[in-house]
């Protein structure tokens, strides 16, 4: 089957299972997920959707998110958009939700449903103004990730060629490709910020462009000469937010006849002056402090800092607080060429993989869960952890905690080498697991950097496996889940009185 046909077939399989075209209010995608706004959540057929071969899992947040994996999601989304447009033109709104099928007891589907319920409960609790603000910040930076990845890989390739003294006539061109986006990233941040906060995107980009304009080197603020790029993405973020508020004020007070001339002029003028004589200096100081703190943390905290960062990253993800790290990563990449935090945080995924493998061996009779683990492990090794988190470890409870333990040990390993002076960083954000190898960079050569990161992954896998195998399952949990579907259904199908051991294996009513 041609790639286009395969992607369209995946989109066609997904669409009716989310309620059809009339039920879709918005479509977007990030690195791994198709994100859908839905009119009626009850129309979604979760179990059937998870059975689609290309679907790795589903996550319910402010949008309904279907995990398709990196690469696949970028190809399926356009096909899905086409089908939705075609469906809206010919199909009426669906009348009612299909009746849910009876769930088999103690299956992977039941676990996934429990995970979705937990996610929905957290969503209701976590819809605070602060977390909604963090989602806006994430929406600003996530669209930039593909360019960061592409330029980061080119930068790594160029560095390798320079060190080997190969293709000297080509490396300057590669350097230009790798650096061009980063030189102008403030403009893209400003554009996306204005768009996300309800302003005119191009005005946000125009104000942010002031930060990277070479001519600011001739301007003095707070007794110091400004530098092009000073303040970086944080300055661009602040400048664009200010531009949005100035623009909205102008829309309210400027007469309509003059709006097209006065509003953009005042927006750029007022926001630009504040940016030049205030925001650039302040944001520059904040950016420098972030870089200095990250260096100090890993130079002095080392293994302890890595232990905490690697161990608590998965809970941060569950709470939605990990989005606050995105501008910090981007600032570090701007300043140092790589972020030293991402490889440590990626160890959380290694602990999750180790915990899943241990669960596979601890539940040898539960074919359903073992099948889920086998299908989700390849994605887990590549850093896509949602199917394992929401389909296995989180609903089981204790394996989620032991997965965090694995991440903590992996983070401690990488942090220890940072303390010894071997910085391990990533030139882009987004990928994790094995997918992060092409983006690795450091201060002591690529070979040492790769070896340390690979060692951290191995430690994370082993620690997550051992912690889960020996401490992840209580006797009660094993009695409940280490049964086949036939054994689990036997007490319900047989009228004879149950023995004590059978009673222990029977699932609780849900």
CA atoms 267, 268, 273, 275: torsion sign: positive
| Stretch (H or E) spanning 366 | none
Which of 111-115, 236-240, 303-307, 358-362 is least confident?
A: 111-115
Which of 1-15, 110-124, 324-338 is least confident?
A: 110-124
Residues 430-480 pLDDT 10s: 888 998 998 898 888 888 999 999 999 999 999 999 999 999 998 888 888
Candidates 30, 151, 250, 404; catalytic one: 30
C-beta of residue 85 within 8 angstroms of C-beta of residue 97 = no
pLDDT over 90 at 261, yes or no? yes
C-beta of residue 112 within 8 angstroms of C-beta of residue 50 = yes
Average pLDDT over residues 161-169: 87
Residues 244-255 pLDDT 10s: 999 999 999 999
pLDDT over 50 at 359, yes or no? yes
Q: Count the Cβ atoms, other than its own, within 10 Å of residue 68.
A: 28
pLDDT over 60 at 151, yes or no? yes
- Work out whether strand 64-67 and strand 57-60 pair parallel, antiparallel, or are unpaired: antiparallel
Answer yes or no: 30 catalytic: yes
Distance CA 458, CA 212 (A): 41
pLDDT over 50 at 177, yes or no? yes
Distance CA 314, CA 348 (A): 6
| Collapsed DSSP state (helix, strand, coil) of residue 178 | helix
Computed on alpha carbons and rounded to an integer, the radius of gyration of the chain in Å comes to 25
How does 166-177 read in b/e, with b if 16+ C-beta sit within 10 Å? Answer: eeeeebeebbee
Q: DSSP letter string over 271-318? A: HHHHIIIIIHHHHHHHHHHHHHHHHHIIIIIHHHHHHHHHHHHHHHHH
471 CB-contact burial (10 Å; exposed 0-12 / middle 13-18 / buried 19+): middle
Place of tokens 């973020």: 237
Residues 55-75 pLDDT 10s: 877 877 778 889 887 778 888
Average pLDDT over residues 184-203: 94
Confidence of residue 99 (pLDDT cuts 50, 70, 90): very low
DSSP character at residue 340: S
Confidence of residue 119 (pLDDT cuts 50, 70, 90): low
Distance CA 393, CA 408 (A): 16
Q: Count the Cβ atoms, other than its own, within 10 Å of residue 375.
A: 15
The pTM of the full predicted model, rounded to 2 decimals, is 0.73
């Amino acid at each position: 089957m041609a790639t286009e046909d395969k992607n369209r077939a995946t989109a066609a399989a997904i669409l009716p299972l989310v309620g059809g075209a009339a039920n879709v209010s918005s479509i977007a995608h990030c690195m791994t997920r198709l994100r859908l706004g839905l009119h009626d959540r009850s129309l979604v057929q979760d179990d059937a959707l998870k059975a689609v071969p290309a679907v790795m899992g589903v996550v319910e947040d402010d949008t309904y998110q279907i995990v398709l994996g990196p690469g696949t999601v970028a190809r399926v989304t356009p096909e899905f958009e086409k089908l939705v447009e075609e469906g809206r033109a010919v199909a009426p709104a669906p009348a009612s939700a299909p009746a849910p099928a009876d769930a088999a007891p103690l299956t992977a589907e039941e676990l996934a449903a429990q995970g979705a319920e937990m996610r929905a409960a957290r969503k209701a609790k976590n819809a605070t103004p602060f977390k909604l603000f963090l989602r806006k910040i994430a929406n600003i930076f996530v669209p930039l990730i593909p360019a960061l990845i592409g330029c980061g890989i080119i930068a790594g390739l160029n560095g390798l060629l320079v060190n080997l003294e190969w293709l000297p006539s080509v490396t300057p061109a590669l350097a230009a490709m790798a650096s061009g986006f980063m030189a102008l990233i403030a403009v893209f941040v400003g554009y996306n910020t204005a768009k996300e906060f309800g302003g005119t995107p191009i005005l946000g980009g125009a104000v942010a462009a002031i930060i990277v304009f070479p001519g600011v080197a001739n301007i003095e603020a707070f007794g110091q000469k400004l530098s092009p790029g000073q303040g970086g993405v944080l300055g661009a973020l602040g400048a664009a937010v200010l531009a949005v508020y100035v623009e909205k004020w102008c829309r309210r007070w400027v007469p309509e006849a003059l709006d097209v001339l006065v509003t953009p002029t005042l927006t750029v003028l007022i926001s630009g002056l504040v940016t030049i004589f205030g925001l650039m200096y302040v944001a520059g100081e904040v950016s420098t402090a972030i870089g200095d703190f990250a260096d100090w943390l890993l130079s002095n905290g080392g293994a302890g800092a890595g232990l905490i960062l690697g161990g608590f990253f998965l809970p941060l993800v569950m709470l939605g607080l990990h989005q606050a790290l995105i501008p910090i990563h981007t600032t570090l990449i701007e300043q140092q060429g790589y972020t030293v935090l991402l490889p440590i945080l990626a160890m959380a995924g290694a602990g999750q993989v180790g915990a899943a493998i241990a669960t596979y061996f601890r539940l040898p009779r539960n074919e359903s869960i073992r099948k889920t683990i086998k299908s989700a492990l390849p994605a887990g090794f590549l850093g896509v952890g949602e199917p394992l988190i929401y389909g296995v470890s989180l609903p089981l409870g204790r394996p989620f905690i032991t997965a965090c333990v694995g991440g903590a040990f992996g983070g401690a390993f990488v942090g220890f080498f940072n303390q010894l002076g071997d910085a391990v960083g990533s030139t882009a954000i987004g990928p994790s697991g094995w997918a992060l190898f092409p983006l690795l960079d450091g201060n002591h050569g690529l070979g040492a950097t790769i070896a340390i990161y690979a060692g951290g992954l191995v430690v994370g896998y082993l620690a997550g496996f051992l912690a889960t195998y020996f401490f992840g399952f209580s006797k009660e949990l094993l009695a409940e889940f280490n049964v086949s579907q036939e054994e689990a259904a036997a007490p319900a199908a047989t009228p004879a009185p149950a023995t004590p051991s059978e009673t222990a294996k029977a699932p609780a009513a849900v």
